[in-house]
Amino acid sequence: MEGNVMEMDNALRAQVLIHALPFIRKYTDKVVVVKYGGNAMINEELKKAVMSDVVLLSLVGIRVVLVHGGGPEISDTLKKMQIPSRFEGGLRVTDRETMGVVQMVLAGKVNKDLVNLLQCQGGRAMGLSGIDGRMITVRRLDEVHGYVGEITRVDTSVITDALDAGYIPVISTVGCDEEGNVYNINADTAAARIAGCLKAESFLSMTDICGLMRDPSDPSTLIPQVYVSDIPQLIADGIITGGMIPKIECCQEAIRRGVKRVFIVDGRVPHSLLIELFTDEGIGTMFL
């Protein structure tokens, strides 16, 4: 049955709520980390849907943490400021000027816009960066990429302080080295690491595919559950390829660090977070 919620009678609505009961129960007071990115971050409708989901999760007592990147907005601002973008091996080469823009866009624009949106939906949010409370400490990844950082330590106290005070922490993934130089950090990696350090119940990574598929062109070949031990074989078989490899390595890392359940969720489907967490079947791929 499909349809529109406005035409639905109240009894049916009540039944839906009741159906969500066991799922709500499962996650109450648990930490759920959401890596927000891709289409869900560009399309205004999807954006709103994700924010509603996050607010609902927070209202039913789940401790949601939202971690975001912001690739397109960074490129956009760099272009406006006539600073050329250069990539090496998929990573942005980040000189000091570029890093200033990255920080400004992530922590000042994307982050605060999300906080604002969550609050317009009735949530109570606090925008944080990896700089605040010395949350993320990094070292230089390599000599090629400049201010691209590799995480050496995550101090989650600023996140748990925010959660304990009743806020939804929204986190932009920049961090500092021991001398206070700011670095850009891959958002997938940072989100997975934060989820691990928080011993999160679940980590959901939003992407623009419907999950891991045996045949990427055929959604009916979706693999609903993957054991971490099977990942090397899936890479060898060419089922996990290209840009999916680092994403799935992050999922693997999150599980290794103690996250109970890790999901790849299709960010193009409205309310995919709710569907994944609050229904039997889910819609993406779960890693165990």
**Structure token digits, residue 162:** 């925010």
Residues of span 257-276 touching a copy of itself by CB under 8 A: 269-271, 274-275
Q: Are 65 and 163 in contact (CB under 8 A)?
A: yes
Min. distance of Cβ 262 from a copy of itself in angstroms?
20
Q: 124: Cβ–Cβ under 8 A, 6 or more apart, which residues?
A: 58, 118, 166, 167, 168
Does 55 sit near a copy of itself (CB under 8 A)?
yes
Residues of span 92-151 touching a copy of itself by CB under 8 A: 100, 103-109, 111-112, 115-117, 119-122, 124-129, 131-134
Distance CA 114, CA 87 (A): 27
Q: Strand, coil or helix: what is 146?
A: strand
Question: CB-side exposure of 257: number of CA atoms within 13 Å?
Answer: 22
Q: Count the residues of the shown chain that bind a copy of itself, applying the rule CB under 8 A.
A: 81
Residue number with CB closer to a copy of itself (218 or 281): 281
Residue number with CB closer to a copy of itself (143 or 179): 179
In the numeric block, the tokens 């055929």 are attached to 218
Please give the DSSP secondary-structure letter assigned to residue 42. Answer: T
Interface stretch with a copy of itself, choices 48-56, 88-96, 213-221, 256-264 (CB under 8 A): 48-56
Min. distance of Cβ 189 from a copy of itself in angstroms?
20
Residues of span 176-195 touching a copy of itself by CB under 8 A: 176, 179-180, 182
Q: Are 141 and 95 in contact (CB under 8 A)?
A: no
Min. distance of Cβ 258 from a copy of itself in angstroms?
24
Min. distance of Cβ 88 from a copy of itself in angstroms?
25
